[in-house]
Amino acid sequence: MSDFTRPALVGLPGDRTAVREIATSAVTTLSAVLVLFAMLAPNGLDRLTPEAFVRLPVEALLGVAVVLMLRDGARRIVALGAGAVLGVLTVVKAIDIGFGIALNRRFNPVFDWGVVGNGVDLLGTSIGQGAAIASVVGLALLAVVVVVLMALSVLRLSRVVAGHRTGSTRVVAVLGVIWIVCAVFGVQLAPGQPLASRSAVAFAYEDLRQVRADLRDRKAFADEVAVDAFRDTPPAGLLNALRGKDVLFTFIESYGRVAVQDSDIAPKVDAVLDAGTARLKNAGYGSRSAFLTSPTTSAGSWLAHSTFQSGVWVDSQRRYDDFVKTDRFTLGGAFKRAGWETVGVVPAHTEDWPEGKVYGYDRYYDSRSIGYHGPPFSYATMPDQFTLSAFQRAERAKAGHPPLMAEIDLVTSHWPWTPLPRAVEWNAVGDGSIYNPMPSQGKTPDEVFTDPAKVRGAYGDSIAYSLNSLISYVETYGDDDLVLVFLGDHQPNPIVAGEGADHDVPISVVTKDKAVLDKIAGWNWQDGLNPDRNATVWKMDTFRDRFLTTFAR
């Protein structure tokens, strides 16, 4: 036979059969790998290690046993259904990992879909709204593909098992005995990684338990909201020690304990706070500081705002959704009843916020109504200095204005912390057009997020900017009647705060009026703007009642 005749042999039936068998074996192997991955994969990035996949899942053994007991029609239905469920659990695990990175907690499959929407909005500020929507659509399609592939994979494996009943029975019997022995004796290949695994079952059970616990918590939360010692307090019994004062509650986004203690960020921020304490003291101001434990971390600022104002613990989206439907007595409501004009300044809001009526604001400024004509800085719709300047012009600069209470939310220090604006002279802030060239002069998120050290540095720079803006505001526009309470809403993302960080945020009171500081002497807060590790720590939901009690008379 010559060399020119050899290629014709490729087309023989035996070769096609061999290729088909190889392809069939490859598809079966890939199906088994996909199903085992879905069963064994953890729902936390920190647990996604090679050891996590060297385990024997009881779900696989039970699945083989069920397949061996079923006829073909029932087997196909059960296999497709079980595969689809496993696919959904895999998608939820992936979402859990995302929530762990962004929010340092698990995803709640019943109540957290609103948070996903907020995440899309946040993504839109970084890559554009169109690209964010396209990304979400792509992820949704990927989730559907995962569910379909998982169902088909389980179906294929069930056919293999049904076609080799004797061998499958022997294998599952042997592995079943091994699983029981390993479970009884707690055999582990690595700490926290038992060889006898029940990952998928345990995961689904934990989710069901969480949903059931949340449903039970709904009544408990309603009972908590209903008990309010201040709800029926008359105006004469509220806030008498603050009469005539402008009281500003100002939240600094992501201003957490990590900014001031035990991190490579702290020296820079501590220097700002220590210098700020001295600057304000020279201007005649005293200050006291402590920590509050926030109900949230990494994100979910609205949970902290509602907890602080309402005196109830709002630590989930479900609790927040229930809270805004109540008539809970808030700090805003207390000041309004006592005769103050109340103002909300929320520059992060780009859409209507009807639920904000729970706070009792007479006036409300968002990104559309505050008069900003400058550029956004990633997520931040405007620089903090502009927010403070616009509030001053619209409210406190008016001659003979009535006493004001305001909640002002500052957003420059929101993730991704870059690019940052520069401080300008207060009389140059104007409508914000002075900031137009600044975003292009700063670093992009893509440049910063290649290096964890750069991320922490950008976070520290953003906190320093927010604090300096606030301190400079007091120096420039403060007077004898100003009482400023500023605090963080939550710790930053675990990329900055670290895994397992506490939920503590700094809080400070600043005023020229010594009588106000004397009133809070019993709080045992530390002098100055920079609380150390020995500072008082309160839960955030206790602040409202302590504040209203202290300043009642």
Count of CB atoms situated within 10 Å of the CB of 421: 25
Query: Which residue shows structure tokens 């087309």?
Result: 11
Dmax over CA atoms of the chain, in Å, equals: 112
**Amino acid residing at 169:** T
Residue 5 pLDDT: 44
- Strand-pair category, 193-194 with 188-190: antiparallel
Nearest-CA neighbor of 174 among 59, 69, 56?
Answer: 56
Residue 3 pLDDT: 45
* Rounded distance between C-alpha atoms, residue 461 and residue 256, angstroms: 14
What DSSP string runs through 103-151?
HSS---TTT-HHHHHHHHHHHHHHH-HHHHHHHHHHHHHHHHHHHHHHH
Asked whether the beta carbons of 314 and 544 are under 8 A apart, the reply is: no
Nearest-CA neighbor of 541 among 333, 299, 296, 292?
Answer: 292
Query: Which residue shows structure tokens 């300008």?
Result: 424
Asked whether the beta carbons of 91 and 146 are under 8 A apart, the reply is: yes
Asked whether the beta carbons of 426 and 389 are under 8 A apart, the reply is: yes
* Rounded distance between C-alpha atoms, residue 302 and residue 320, angstroms: 8
Residue 463 pLDDT: 98
* Rounded distance between C-alpha atoms, residue 275 and residue 280, angstroms: 9
* Phi, psi dihedrals of residue 407, rounded to the nearest 5°: -105, 125
Residue 200 pLDDT: 62
* Rounded distance between C-alpha atoms, residue 468 and residue 184, angstroms: 60
How many secondary structure helices (H) and strands (E) does the chain include? 18, 13
Residue 51 pLDDT: 76
Count of CB atoms situated within 10 Å of the CB of 517: 19
Which helix (H) or strand (E) element contains residue 293? strand 286-293
Asked whether the beta carbons of 477 and 243 are under 8 A apart, the reply is: no
Residue 500 DSSP one-character state: T
Sign of torsion, CA 229 230 233 237? positive
CA dist 481 to 385, 510, 514, Å? 21, 11, 11
Residue 395 DSSP one-character state: I
- Cα 383–chain centre separation: 22
* Rounded distance between C-alpha atoms, residue 3 and residue 458, angstroms: 68
Q: Which two tokens stand for residue 341?
A: 């004009």
Residue 10 pLDDT: 47
Per-block mean pLDDT, blocks of 10 residues, the chain (553 long): 45 72 88 90 77 82 89 91 91 82 71 67 63 81 93 94 91 90 81 71 64 79 94 96 98 98 96 98 98 94 97 93 95 97 96 92 96 95 98 96 97 95 98 97 90 95 98 98 98 90 97 97 98 97 98 95
* Rounded distance between C-alpha atoms, residue 510 and residue 334, angstroms: 21
Asked whether the beta carbons of 293 and 540 are under 8 A apart, the reply is: yes
**Amino acid residing at 346:** V
pTM reported for the whole predicted model: 0.79
* Rounded distance between C-alpha atoms, residue 32 and residue 168, angstroms: 14
* Rounded distance between C-alpha atoms, residue 277 and residue 19, angstroms: 77
Taking phi over 0 as left and psi of -120 to 50 as alpha, with beta for the rest, 378 belongs to left
- Cα 195–chain centre separation: 33
Task: Please tell me the number of Cα atoms within 13 Å of 273 on its side-chain side.
Answer: 28
* Rounded distance between C-alpha atoms, residue 237 and residue 553, angstroms: 7
Give the contacts of 160 (CB within 8 A, at least 6 positions apart): 28
Three-state DSSP at 200 gives helix
Nearest-CA neighbor of 87 among 5, 166, 31?
Answer: 31
